[in-house]
Structure 1
Amino acid sequence: MLALAALPLGVRVTVLEPDEHAPARLCARHLHAPYTDPAALNELAACDAVTLEFENVPVEALAALQDRVPVRPGGALLARSKHRAHEKRALQGAGATTAPFEAIEADTDLPGALARVGGRGILKTSELGYDGKGQARVNSDAELRAAWENLGRVPCVLEGLVSFEREVSLAVARTPAGQVAFGPLVENVHRDGILRSSVFPAQVPDGTEARARELARAVADAWALEGLITLEFFQLPGGDLIVNEVAPRVHNSGHLTQDGGGVSQFEAQVRAVLNLPLSDWRPLHPTAMVNVVGVDGPDGSPLTPDWAAIDALDGTRVHLYHKAHRHGRKVGHVNLVAPDPGTLRARLASLEPLIP
């Protein structure tokens, strides 16, 4: 989707991806090699700039490109955002509030940790976990120890549970010249640890979006951002925001910007990375997104969305990723546009039952 957004700007994209079936091969030059392959990295170094679509890239790959080609966001930001403990400390250093947390890296870190975060929490691997993977909810010291054993005794972060009204996200882009622009504040709903739907505009108290922008700008400046990052927030009763995590890239919740009119998040990232003129991007109309996730039926066969009914709904547009089916894997999304927020919510209620 980044490559598709780059083409109208006269930009050709080269993608380094170990999967021979990488979907981007359909619209970009595909370097089929490991992320750390020297020959492939040499070819990336010949580009005008390098950016990220996926945070589980070895930091060593970006280190090999350092001082050879602009990497936006850079290796230091990637290393910070892909490690939960480092990320939370850096967010606090930028002036943002996070959930209470404890780093769990050895047996000696377990005693008293749950009490220090409020008595209930979620243990998450410090690296590699996403879409609900690599985490477990814990309510006692015994559950915490068992969860750490089950996660392989790897470095983890124990986050205290936060009582919140809704989850929202907002992206910020910053060019090498220091120009900053923001995406829309989007309201998100998760199911089984995976983003199910996103809606714009978010139903939040007055001032919430302004506060989200303030925090996003503070993080972008403190982290010397070049490129685009997305901040995920918990909105507390009354409107206060806690930063849950940061993605060093375009985000699933921003996919709705493809079809609401105006600039998409993908074009915004391309513009920021290449130091092109940049402005705020947000849909011109109320817009929603529903993820299409691989789901296995009782007999093990894939459950398929009702595509005919989806196409018959006003305002829908389907985006499929050309990925093989796998249970729990995001294989596409459906965007939905409506003339007003009420109509959007009604159409969304009709759309969601059509997607397993």
Structure 2
Amino acid sequence: MTPQATLGILGGGQLARMLALAAAPLNVRVLFLEPDPQAPARVCAEQLQAAYTDPAGLARLAECDAVTLEFENVPVEALAALSGRVPVRPGGALLERSKHRAREKEALQAAGAQTAPFVLIESEGDLSGALERVGGRGVLKTAELGYDGKGQARVRSDAELQFAWNELGQVPCVLEGWVEFAREVSLGVARRPGGELAFSGLTENLHVGGVLRRSVYRPGDPVQVQARALARAVAETWELEGLLTLEFFEQPGGELLVNEVAPRVHNSGHLTQNGGGVSQFEAQVRAALDWPLHDFAPLLPCAMVNILGWASGQEPDWQGILQLEGAHLHLYGKAHRPGRKLGHVNLVAQDEGTLRARLDELEGLIPY
């Protein structure tokens, strides 16, 4: 008998779109709850157009075999309303932990992972001496809702800290100590309720202005074993059900600090779509439905380059991208806005040398 199931998704952006596309070959029907009438996932899944806390929409999701998350800014009230009615993977407790930077870092440390030093800033009185406690230089980030470089500011003095806190609206923030890192890397882990685990490969990431520009997977990365051990510890300690992505700072000596986590598939893992193995999207679908897992590391050297909304006259060379051997174009169907994530290109090659040469060519076709 072939597999058959219905998967609900909270959120309808490009990640929900790609989750639905990965679910289709498995005969999994997808419906998602999302208020935006132009949600990217609407072209390949059934949309429940309503607020995330809408009782009727949540009742429809509760009829699914399982529910998963497309992004972490879903109200925890939505997951509470689904609790006991349908398996939600990841669940409300993990979401509540991961969406607040201070709770997240405390839970990471409890799982045995190292993080940057940090101080919770909830009132003006918390500013005094905070920068000194994290090493005299840091990044002030809103405790919740920040992403892609938004909701944060670098600070190097008490005056800059005060200014940044005012600019961020005097909302609860976390002041993180500045980390001198050799590179940024990330790794995904999926876990079934019974404890079975599967891992992605390690990707090396480059951010520009707080936004991911490219990710590269090279088989046999020297810190992959360490990253997997940390991901295992976090997944098991947190009793993960579903998929979680960890972003790391690799220090000059090779030691990894966890920067942050996302309870879902991640931009840096998009290259798994064309790398020859199971994609991160299929891995999340399987974990959410409690189906057998496989590691979702690519089988070939591969890379991903984001396509952001461009300035006037600087549109990507679409024909050049389509002509480049090993390139796979993925567009999200979103309205253009400068700086907005509109798509990505995955690049696959038989060896690392060819990948590097083609990556240079690809980046010349996408303006930044």
Instruction: Specify the TM-score bucket, using the shorter chain as the normaliser.
Output: over 0.9
Matches of residues 89-100 of structure 1 in structure 2 within 5 Å?
Answer: 89-100=106-117
SS of 1:71's partner is coil
Check conservation: 1:310, 1:316, Cα contact below 8 A: yes
Aligned with 2:212: secondary structure?
Answer: strand
Match in the other structure for 2:353: 342
Are the counterparts in 2 of residues 294 and 303 from structure 1 also a CA contact under 8 Å? no
Q: Is the 8 A contact 1:187 1:203 kept in 2?
A: no
Cα distance in 2 for residues equivalent to 1:227 and 1:203: 25
User: Who is 1:131 aligned against?
Assistant: 148
* Counterparts of 1:290 and 1:13, CA distance in 2: 27
2:190 aligns with 173
- For 1:238-258, what per-residue CA distance to the aligned partner results, in whole angstroms no more than 9, with x for missing partners? 210000000000000000000
Match of 1:85 among 94, 102, 115: 102
Residue of structure 2 equivalent to 1:63: 80
Is 1:26 aligned to 2:43, yes or no? yes
Quote the offset at 1:38 in angstroms. 0.6
Shift >2 Å, 4+ stretches: none
Q: Which amino acid aligns with 1:344?
A: L
Candidates 249, 256, 277, aligned match of 2:271: 256
Letter aligned with residue 326 of structure 1: R
Report whether the alignment pairs 1:209 with 2:224: yes
Amino acid across the alignment from 1:42: A
The amino acid that maps onto 1:148 is: W
Which one of the candidate residues 321, 324, 333 is aligned to 1:322?
333
C-alpha distance in structure 2 between counterparts of 1:295 and 1:139, whole Å: 32
Partner Cα separation in structure 2 for residue 187 and residue 86 of structure 1: 26
Confirm or deny: 8 A CA contact 2:190 2:287 kept in the other structure: yes
Q: CA offsets per residue over residues 225-247 of structure 1, 9 Å max, x none?
A: 00000000001112100000000
Q: In 2, are the aligned partners of 1:290 and 1:333 still within 8 Å (CA)?
A: yes
**1:246 alignment partner, SS class:** strand
Q: Distance in 2 between matches of 1:330 and 1:158?
A: 27
Q: Name which of 300, 321, 333 aligns with 1:285.
A: 300
Identity, % of aligned pairs? 70
* Residue type of the alignment partner of 2:271: L
* Structure 1 residue 303 displacement after superposition: 3.3
* Counterpart residue identity of residue 153, structure 1: Q
Measure, in 1, the Cα distance between the counterparts of 2:68 and 2:314: 35
Matches within 5 A, 1:177-188: 177-188=194-205
Q: Does 1:197 find its partner at 2:214?
A: yes
1:23 deviates by 1.0
Structure 1 counterpart of 2:258, from 243, 263, 276: 243
Match of 1:4 in 2: 21
Q: How many residues align?
A: 350
Letter of the 2:355 counterpart: L
Contact 1:186 1:202 in 2 (8 A): no
In structure 1, the residue corresponding to 2:335 is in which secondary structure?
A: coil
* SS of alignment partner, residue 78 of structure 1: helix
The reply on whether 1:229 has 2:240 as its aligned counterpart is no
* Secondary structure in 2 matching 1:178: coil
Paired with 1:346 and 1:235, the residues of 2 have a C-alpha distance of 25
Post-superposition shift, 1:296?
A: 2.4
Given the superposition, is the C-alpha separation of residues 203 and 124 from structure 1 closer, same or farther in structure 2, using an over 3 Å criterion? farther
Pairwise CA distance, 1:203: 8.2
Length-normalised TM-score, structure 1 = 0.97
SS of the residue 1:335 aligns to: strand
CA distance in 2 between counterparts of 1:295 and 1:3 reads 27
Kindly indicate whether the alpha-carbon contact (under 8 Å) linking 1:187 and 1:202 is maintained by their aligned counterparts in 2.
Answer: no
Name the SS of the counterpart of 1:218 in structure 2. Answer: helix
Find the aligned partners of 1:35 and 1:7 in 2 and give their Cα distance.
24
**CA apart distance, 1:310:** 1.1
Contact 2:301 2:355 in 1 (8 A): yes
- AA paired with 2:215? S
Q: Does the residue aligned with 2:116 lie in a helix, a strand or coil?
A: coil
Check conservation: 2:219, 2:301, Cα contact below 8 A: no
